[in-house]
Every structure is written in structure tokens, then in C-alpha cells.
């Protein structure tokens, strides 16, 4: 399997005043084409830092990040990024928030309108295309964000705790929807979360990070059948993966 992302001894130190914060000590792993890789770790272990390094929004202090075989030297354009908060423009309808991505890339909006409608349908927002963000629930807003991240058809999707702010029920539903989209659109996904069950439910592999300074403590292959279903969460194998990762993270 060709690797889409490769981290080689990645190190990131933040300098704030006289203080040095070692956010990532040494991170090495890779993500294969079409793979769904989840990264789990406690708050402050460097997950967002890792995502920003991958997107080219930050540069490493040591080591190297490669995407599609080339070192990341600046902001990547051929990726879709979904952050924890939906960051929609309040004065734009759902469809126009999706098309924002197209405008920002100086592409012809008219060429993308049909695709934007398809994506809103795919993410379960049919009938809500003309609504403003204030008329949508948190889950629906996040679906608009996901549609926006997919509109330019990037082969790689980077997601930073996209469902962290949602209630547990909506979150489980969004997990299923995301897997459906991933399956249909054949993307490579790097998905960051602090939820162990979410990491296991979604991932082909789970990268377990140690607390600060961030390192990879374990990589767990998730040998569970796809398509994943809600019932899987009650399976002994699922529970045993969750237990293994909890132990690895030192959760009491
Ligand atoms: N711009 C910054 N300047 C200084 N320290 C930072 C900066 N961004 C993050 N950090 C620190 O780096 C560590 C990792 O942060 P982050 O990557 O956001 O972790 P996570 O996403 O896992 O919660 C934290 O200790 C955080 O305080
Ligand atoms: Mg974070």
C-alpha cells in the first residue's frame, strides 16, 4: 500500500517567551492510501499540532512530514480539513458555506453547485441547503463543514475532533455517516479524537499517543469487520480493544 502520509521522527517545540514547550517529542508512523487512521490521546498531547504539521500550517522543529511523497513545506491545498468547531459564516446559507471553499480557491462556483447539493444530500442535509447556520443544530453545522471539506474532492481528509462538541447520540450517528462517506468517496482519513471508543469504532488502525511530550505509545490494528455497525460496540472484541487502549493511555 502506497503511503499518503509519512511522519519520520517528527518533533515540534513551541517557543513562547522564555518557555519551550515540547509538543511532539518524536513521532513516526505512516498512513496508507484509502486507510482510515485514528489518533487518540489526552488533551495537550500534541494531536492538533500533528494535524497542523500535516496540513502544512506549521513546520516541524525536527524530522519530516511527507504527504503524497513530497515534504510538506507550506499549506497544502489538496486536503480537506475539519476542525472541532464548524466555523461557518453566519450570514451565508448552508450551500453558500460549502461553496466558500470553491470561492477561496478561485474556482468557478457554477461548476460546483451541483456537487455541493450532492454532498449536502450525502451528509443528510437534503432540504436544509437554504438554511442559515443559526437554523441548524450543532451536528448539522458540522455536516456542512464536512461537505465543505469534500467539495474540491481532496484525496486526503484531516479531521481534528470534529464531533467533540456533539451529544453522544448524534456523535454515534455522525460516526456512521462519516464511514459511509469515506466508503463512497474512497478517501484517506486521519481522524483525531480523545474518545477511545470513537477511535476504535472508526479506525483501521489506532495511533495511541502518550501525554506531553507526545510520542506514539502504541499502534493498534483494529481487526473488526466493515461496514461497522452500532451493534459492534457490544462485541467482546470491540470492548477488548477499548480496554487495551485505555490501559496504554494509563486510564485508571
Ligand atoms: N502556539 C502555541 N504556543 C505554545 N504552546 C502551544 C501552542 N500550541 C499548542 N501548544 C502546547 O503544545 C501542547 C500540545 O498542544 P495541542 O497540539 O493543541 O494538543 P492536543 O490537541 O492534543 O490537545 C500543549 O501543551 C499546548 O499547550
Ligand atoms: Mg487539539
Q: Which three cell numbers stand for residue 242?
A: 477499548
Pocket lining: 193 vs ligand 1, CB cutoff 6 Å: no
pLDDT, tens digit, 9 for 90 and up, residues 197-213: 999 999 999 999 998 88
Which of the four pLDDT bands, split at 50, 70 and 90, describes residue 130? Answer: very high
Which among 17, 41, 49 is the best mutation to test ligand 1's pocket, defined by most ligand atoms within 8 Å of the CB?
A: 49
The answer to whether 91 and 126 are in contact (CB under 8 A) is no
Q: Please give the residue that has the higher pLDDT: either 192 or 138.
A: 192
Tell the residue nearest (CA) to atom 7 of ligand 1. 14
What's the mean pLDDT when you consider all of the chain? 93
Report the candidate in 173, 183, 182, 171 with the shortest Cα–Cα distance to residue 229: 173
Which among 12, 13, 44 is the best mutation to test ligand 1's pocket, defined by most ligand atoms within 8 Å of the CB?
A: 44
What local confidence, expressed as pLDDT, does residue 224 receive?
A: 97
Residue 150 C-alpha to ligand 1 middle, in angstroms? 27
Which of the four pLDDT bands, split at 50, 70 and 90, describes residue 239? Answer: very high
Q: Please give the residue that has the higher pLDDT: either 82 or 17.
A: 82
Q: Of all residues in the chain, what percent carry a pLDDT higher than 70?
A: 100
How far is residue 119's CA from residue 152's CA, in Å, rounded to a whole number?
A: 11
Q: What is the pTM of this model?
A: 0.93
Question: Cβ–Cβ contacts within 10 Å for residue 21, how many?
Answer: 14
Tell the residue nearest (CA) to atom 18 of ligand 1. 48
What local confidence, expressed as pLDDT, does residue 53 receive?
A: 97
What local confidence, expressed as pLDDT, does residue 135 receive?
A: 97
Tell the residue nearest (CA) to atom 5 of ligand 1. 14
pLDDT, tens digit, 9 for 90 and up, residues 169-201: 888 888 998 998 899 888 999 999 999 999 999
DSSP the chain: --EEEEEEEEEEEEEETTEEEEEEEEEEEEEETT-EEEEE--TTSSHHHHHHHHHTSS--SEEEEEETTEE--S--SSEEEE-SS----TTS-HHHHHHHHHHHTT--GGGTHHHHHHHHHHTT-TT-TT--GGGS-HHHHHHHHHHHHHTT--SEEEEESTTTTS-HHHHHHHHHHHHHHHHHHT-EEEEEES-HHHHHHH-SEEEEEPSSSEEEEEEEE----SS--GGGGGSHHHHHHHHHHHHHTT--
Judged against a pLDDT cut of 90, whether residue 31 lies above it is answered with yes
Ligand 1 nearest-atom number relative to CA 52: 17
Ligand 1 nearest-atom number relative to CA 21: 5
pLDDT, tens digit, 9 for 90 and up, residues 62-118: 999 999 999 999 999 889 999 988 889 999 999 999 999 899 888 899 999 999 999
Pocket lining: 59 vs ligand 1, CB cutoff 6 Å: no
Ligand 1 nearest-atom number relative to CA 51: 17
What local confidence, expressed as pLDDT, does residue 213 receive?
A: 85
What local confidence, expressed as pLDDT, does residue 58 receive?
A: 96
What local confidence, expressed as pLDDT, does residue 190 receive?
A: 98
Pocket lining: 211 vs ligand 1, CB cutoff 6 Å: no
Pocket lining: 46 vs ligand 1, CB cutoff 6 Å: yes
- Cα dihedral 239→245→250→251 (10° resolution): -40
Ligand nearest to the CA of 212: 1
Please name each of the domains of the chain with its CATH number: 35-57+72-78+156-252 (3.40.50.300), 83-154 (no CATH)
Mean of pLDDT values over 37-57? 96
Tell the residue nearest (CA) to atom 6 of ligand 1. 14
Amino acid at each position: 500500500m502506497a503511503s499518503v502520509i509519512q511522519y519520520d521522527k517528527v518533533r515540534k517545540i513551541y517557543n513562547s517567551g522564555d518557555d519551550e514547550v515540547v509538543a511532539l517529542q518524536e513521532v513516526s508512523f505512516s498512513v496508507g492510501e484509502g486507510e482510515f487512521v485514528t489518533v487518540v490521546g489526552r488533551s495537550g498531547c500534541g494531536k492538533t499540532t500533528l494535524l497542523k504539521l500535516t496540513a502544512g500550517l506549521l513546520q516541524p522543529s525536527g524530522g519530516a512530514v511527507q504527504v503524497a511523497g513530497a515534504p510538506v513545506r507550506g499549506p497544502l491545498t489538496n486536503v480537506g480539513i475539519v476542525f472541532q468547531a464548524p466555523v461557518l459564516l453566519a450570514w451565508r446559507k448552508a450551500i453558500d458555506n460549502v461553496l466558500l471553499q470553491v470561492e477561496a480557491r478561485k474556482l468557478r462556483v457554477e461548476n460546483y453547485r451541483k456537487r455541493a447539493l450532492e454532498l449536502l444530500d450525502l451528509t443528510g442535509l437534503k432540504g436544509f441547503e437554504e438554511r442559515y447556520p443559526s437554523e441548524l443544530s450543532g451536528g448539522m453545522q458540522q455536516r456542512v463543514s464536512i461537505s465543505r471539506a469534500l467539495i474540491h474532492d481532496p484525496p486526503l481528509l484531516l479531521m481534528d475532533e470534529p464531533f467533540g462538541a456533539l451529544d453522544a447520540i448524534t456523535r454515534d450517528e455522525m460516526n456512521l455517516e462519516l464511514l459511509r462517506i469515506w466508503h463512497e468517496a474512497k478517501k484517506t482519513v486521519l481522524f483525531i479524537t480523545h474518545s477511545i471508543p470513537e477511535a476504535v469504532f472508526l479506525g483501521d488502525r489506532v495511533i495511541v499517543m502518550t501525554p506531553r511530550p507526545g510520542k506514539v505509545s502504541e499502534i493498534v490494528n483494529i481487526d473488526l469487520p466493515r461496514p461497522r455497525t452500532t451493534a459492534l460496540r457490544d462485541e467482546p472484541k470491540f470492548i477488548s480493544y477499548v480496554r487495551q487502549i485505555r490501559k496504554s493511555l494509563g486510564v485508571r
